[in-house]
Structure 1
Amino acid sequence: MLGLIRIGAYLLSGFTIWHFFDGSGIDGTSLVQRLALDSAHGMIFGVCAGVSQYTGVDVSLIRFAWALSCLYRGLGIILYILAFIIMPA
């Protein structure tokens, strides 16, 4: 079970990093939105809502993945706090 959670966390982080760096269009213009907090649609600080808006994935799936990562040695809690500090409002 922990192996599946670990694989899921690796896939989620790899997908997020891929979205950060894959953003140039054909003519060199940027097609990527900025990753920012979405406090209007967020439950606590708007981190999951901001990630959902950035990636286009449903916010419920983002929250579920984040909750699963919290069960793995509390890693999700640390990542959530870091994301809140790093992401612009």
Structure 2
Amino acid sequence: MIWLIRAGAYLFSGLTIWQLFQGAGMPDVGVLNKHLALDQAHGMVFGVCAGFSAYTGLDVTLIRLAWALSVLYRGAGLALYILAFVIMPVS
């Protein structure tokens, strides 16, 4: 199982470097000015998933699904959700 995780990490890092050398270049300045914060206006519970969605640009439904799956796996997602709520500032 560990070899599968390592292979995925190597593949992801290789594709990232490939994109950098193929002309994707550095991200825009607007992307660098983003900060991770709670988005309580668009959130369902505390706004943690909506904040991650605004920060990463991913669909909030995908983030909520991933978080729900992590809650089902030994409850790790619940602890991480509460920790993120405590740490993240309000936007």
TM over 0.5, yes or no? yes
Match of 1:49 in 2: 50
Structure number with bigger Rg: 2
One-letter amino acid of the structure 1 residue matched with residue 41 of structure 2: A
Structure 1 segment 17-36 matched on structure 2, within 5 A: 31-36=32-37
What is the Cα deviation at residue 29 of structure 1? Answer: 9.2
Over the matched positions of the two proteins, sequence identity in percent amounts to: 66
Match of 1:63 in 2: 64
Moved over 2 A (4+): none
What is the Cα deviation at residue 30 of structure 1? Answer: 7.4
RCO (CA 8 Å, sep 6+): is it higher in 1 or 2?
Answer: 1
CA distance in 2, matches of 1:60, 1:85: 22
Match of 1:21 in 2: none
Length, aligned pairs only: 67
CA distance in 2, matches of 1:58, 1:71: 21
| TM-score, normalising length: structure 2 | 0.65
| TM-score, normalising length: structure 1 | 0.67
Task: Mark the runs of 5 or more structure 1 residues left unpaired by the alignment.
Answer: 12-24
Higher helix share: 2
What is the Cα deviation at residue 32 of structure 1? Answer: 3.8
Q: Deviations over 1:51-88 (max 9, x none)?
A: 00000000000000000000110000000000000000
